[in-house]
């Protein structure tokens, strides 16, 4: 099982929303096939063909992901049945 698959399983479990690294969240998003679009400052905007929604993420203090953004990624992975490569 790859690092991205382990991290995706952690996201899908819903138990680590409060304690998830921003770098790890971006890694999962990219391995799910999303592409980075330019953004301002610390914002990263991801999009994917076939997915209506975009993912807009930015870190909070200490390099952690914001819990609501981890939840948004989980909901998109489940809604579109996106596999992690």
59-60/35-37 β-pairing: unpaired
Write down the pLDDT at residue 40: 78
Q: Is the per-residue pLDDT at 39 higher than 90?
A: no
Q: Is the per-residue pLDDT at 35 higher than 80?
A: yes
Q: Say if CB 47 and CB 37 are below 8 A apart.
A: yes
Write down the pLDDT at residue 85: 84
Count of C-beta atoms within a 10 Å radius of residue 82: 20
Phi, psi of 61 (to 5 degrees): -55, 145
Topology of the domain comprising 3-79: Metal Transport, Frataxin; Chain A (3.30.920)
CA dihedral 44, 48, 54, 60 (to 10 degrees): -30
């Amino acid at each position: 099982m790859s690092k991205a698959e382990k991290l995706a399983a952690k996201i899908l479990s819903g138990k680590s929303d409060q304690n998830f690294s921003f770098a790890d969240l971006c890694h999962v998003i990219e391995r799910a096939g999303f592409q980075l679009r330019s953004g301002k400052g610390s914002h990263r905007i991801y999009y994917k063909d076939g997915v209506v929604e975009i993912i807009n993420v930015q870190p909070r203090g200490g390099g952690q992901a914001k819990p609501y953004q981890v939840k948004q990624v989980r909901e998109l992975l489940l809604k579109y049945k996106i596999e992690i490569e």
